[in-house]
Structures are given as structure tokens and as C-alpha cells.
Amino acid sequence: MAKFKKDGGRGLPAINTSALPDIVFMLLFFFMVATKMRDKEMKVKTQLPQATEVEKLEKKSRLHYIFVGPPLDAQFGTTPRIQLDDAFATVDDIQQYITLKNSEKDEKEVPYMTTSLKADKTVKMGIVTDIKQELRQVNALKLSYTAAKDIRDQ
């Protein structure tokens, strides 16, 4: 009897948690490296269309972003607007914006710059066509219609 009692009294041994910080740090570093902070504040709604033939865009440093969509803030109305960086813009600003952004880059990189057009599904083609014309004017000929991958069975 005494023998049994002694066994039960010992209880569960404490789990060694000294390696826990190591594991947590490992996860932490993974997420720190994988994180890309949102650097632009969205002013327009961009619900992307879906497509099956999308390709990955290679380098984030070689991208210009143009956002088109109805403003998130209702006080600006519902007409689709263009957003460049953090501010609303008009079609006429695009040429200047692209030229400015290209001048910050290495000259060799400029021909590889792709414009990522993030437009809302509901936007009409009129504004998109205008943007395309502006891009052609500044010889920014690589364009990407940003779309979400459609997981349809092919």
C-alpha cells in the first residue's frame, strides 16, 4: 500500500519549457522575414476580377501601382477615381507620375518596369483605356491587369 501511495504522490513531472522561446523565436523570424508592411493607404475600393491565366509578377521593386475604383470614403462620391501613391489623381497625372518613378530607378531597370493596374471589377473600360493611352505615351508598355487567381477546374 505504502508503495502505491508513494508513486501516486509524485504527480506529473513538470514539462521542460526552456526550449519554448527558441521555437517561438523561430516562428517570429519567419514571419518577420515574410512580412511586407502595407505601405500605401487605400483610398479607393479595388475588388479584383478573377482570371485563370494569371502570372506571378516577378519583383516588387519593378512595379508601378495604379489603383482605380470608387472611393472608400462616401463623401467623395461613387464615381471611380484613380489613386497614385497615397492621393487621388487624374488621368493627366499618370505620365508625370511614371516619369518621376522611373527617374528614381536605375536606368537599366526602366525597360523592365511593369505597371500593375489594380482596378475594381465595376469600373468601366473608358477610364482604363485612358490610362492605357497615357502609359503608351510615356513608353511604359508592360502592363499587368492585376487579378486574383480563379480556382476553376481547368
**For other proteins, how many residues bind (rule: CB under 8 A)?**
53
The type of residue at 36 is K
What distance separates the 2 farthest-apart alpha carbons in the chain? 94
Q: Are 79 and 105 in contact (CB under 8 A)?
A: no
Kindly tell me which of 2 and 37 has the beta carbon lying closer to other proteins.
37
Residue 125 in contact with other proteins, rule: CB under 8 A: yes
Comparison of 2 and 15: residue with beta carbon closer to other proteins: 15
Give the Cα separation of 3 and 105 in Å (integer): 79
* Cα angle 72-75-77, degrees, rounded to a multiple of 5: 75
Site for other proteins in 55-74 (CB under 8 A): 55-57, 60, 63
Rg (CA), the chain: 26
Interaction with other proteins in 2-31: which residues (CB under 8 A)? 17, 20-21, 24-25, 27-28, 31
Q: Of 126, 107, 133, 123, give the one whose Cα is nearest residue 115.
A: 133
Q: Which stretch binds other proteins (CB under 8 A): 4-12, 82-90, 93-101, 109-117?
A: 109-117
Kindly tell me which residue out of 32, 79, 106, 153 binds other proteins, with binding defined by CB under 8 A.
32
What are the angstrom distances between the C-alpha of 4 and each of 12, 13, 14, 48, 70? 15, 17, 21, 68, 75
From the list 16, 35, 75, 103, which residue makes contact with other proteins (rule: CB under 8 A)? 35
Q: By C-beta, is 7 or 53 nearer to other proteins?
A: 53
Q: Which stretch binds other proteins (CB under 8 A): 3-11, 32-40, 83-91, 99-107?
A: 32-40
